[in-house]
Structure formats: C-alpha cells, structure tokens
Amino acid sequence: MGDELACTLRCAGKTVCGKALLESSEIIFRGETCLKILRSTITSVQAKDGELHVRTKDGLAVFQLGPRAAEWHKKITNPKSLFDKLGVNAKQSVSLIGRFPVEFLADLKRQGAVLSKNKIANDAMWVFLAASEKKELGCLSSLAKSIHGATGLWIVYPKGQKAITEADVRFAGLKSGLVDVKVASFSATHTALKFVLPKSKR
C-alpha cells in the first residue's frame, strides 16, 4: 500500500490540486489532471522548500508536499529492497508453494535462506504461495493448519487480473482462519498479501 497525500501539482504550465500516491514503482497524481510517473523513468529528483521536483524525459513535475517532500525524496532515492518490504531476513527458513521467478529464488539463496519447496518446513519463518488464478487458493486451508507461532504467509498473485483479485485472496485467507496484515508490491506485475495466525491461536 502506497503513501498518499493531498497536494498541488505544477506540470506542463498548469497548477492543479489533487492527491499524489507514492508507490514502490510509480508516482500517481489524481485530480483535475491525472499523471503517472514510473520510477524507472525518473532522471532526477530534488526536494527543496517543501516541493518535490521530479524530472523525466517528458519534462518537470513539481509536487507541493510541504514537510513530506524530503521524506518522499528519500523514499525515491533510497528504495527498500524486496526483502525489506517482505520482512525476510538472512538465513531464515522459507517455504515456497508454487512457481516463483528464478530471480527471486536466486536472491533468497544469496542471502542464505534455507529453502523448502512445495511443503512447509517445521521451522519455516515464512511461507510463500504463488497463485495465478482463484482455484490455486484451494490449498490455503491445509496450509493454514501447518502454520504455527509468528510464521508469516505471503500470497503472491498477479496485479489487475480478473482470474484472481485482492478480494479473492483476502476472502480465502480469512476463510482459512488467518488474518491479513500487510500488502506489498512483489514486482511490477505481482502483488503480495501477508497473512498470519490470529494472536489467540499463536
């Protein structure tokens, strides 16, 4: 979930009011004018006098954010890594259910994670379930029974797809007796929703 703030935008000779949303991969402005800036297209960013100056090859966009300008500048220039967002620390036990990008597996191995695939290890601190469509959530009830203590379950699913939505994922998790506590951008194409056991069952 991104950081949203009411602000004024100066861009292309116009000044408009609306709301700016800072996501992990983009900045979105909604108001009289709508604007989306992919972080990958930003050539320079500065914070000065309460304004965030964001330049791309298409020109300059100035967001009047007040005291938050410096904070947004820091988030853009020093983004959190995927593992920072997911909370996975080095050398922890991670169980993977389903198919994940080879880059993700390689990154887990590089930081020393102890991996188990298609089953939940007894000492797993994290469980990742990849679901590309709704029917792949059918295993959640059995997975939930294998989770104990503070183990976190991340369900990773495609963004903007009708085959599976955030509502589908949340409903399946709650139905399995878990509670959702966090949303994170897993990649440019996928979102991750974190579930844990209710405190009364840990």
Given 59, 77, 95, which residue is the final one in a domain? 77
CATH number at residue 165: 3.40.50.150
Does the pLDDT of residue 28 top 70, yes or no?
yes
108 plus 47 within the same structural domain: no
Whole-number pLDDT of residue 80? 81
Does the pLDDT of residue 1 top 80, yes or no?
no
105 plus 183 within the same structural domain: yes
Provide the number of structural domains found in the chain. Answer: 2
List residues bridging with 23 in a β-sheet: none
155 plus 90 within the same structural domain: yes
For 119-136, the DSSP string reads: S--TT-SEEEEE-SSGGG
pLDDT in tens, 146-185: 999 999 999 999 998 999 999 999 999 999 999 999 998 8
Tokens 């991670």: give the residue. Answer: 94
CATH number at residue 68: 2.30.29.30
70 plus 86 within the same structural domain: no
72 plus 101 within the same structural domain: no
Which distant-in-sequence residues (6+ apart) come within 8 Å of 18 by Cβ? 6, 7, 9, 29, 30, 31, 32, 33
152 plus 171 within the same structural domain: yes
Closest listed residue to residue 169, CA positions, set 195, 189, 145, 150: 195
- Write down the pTM of the prediction: 0.72
72 plus 86 within the same structural domain: no
pLDDT in tens, 65-91: 999 999 999 999 988 888 888 999 989
Whole-number pLDDT of residue 140? 94
Q: What is the extent of the structural domain holding 98?
A: 82-201
Residue 53 corresponds to which tokens in the numbers above? 């100056």
Does the pLDDT of residue 200 top 80, yes or no?
yes
Given 42, 62, 77, which residue is the final one in a domain? 77
Does the pLDDT of residue 2 top 70, yes or no?
no
Overall average pLDDT of the 116-133 stretch: 94
pLDDT in tens, 41-52: 999 999 999 999
Q: pLDDT category, 201, cuts 50, 70, 90?
A: confident
Distance in angstroms (rounded) separating the CA atoms of residues 39 and 47: 16
65 plus 87 within the same structural domain: no
8 plus 31 within the same structural domain: yes
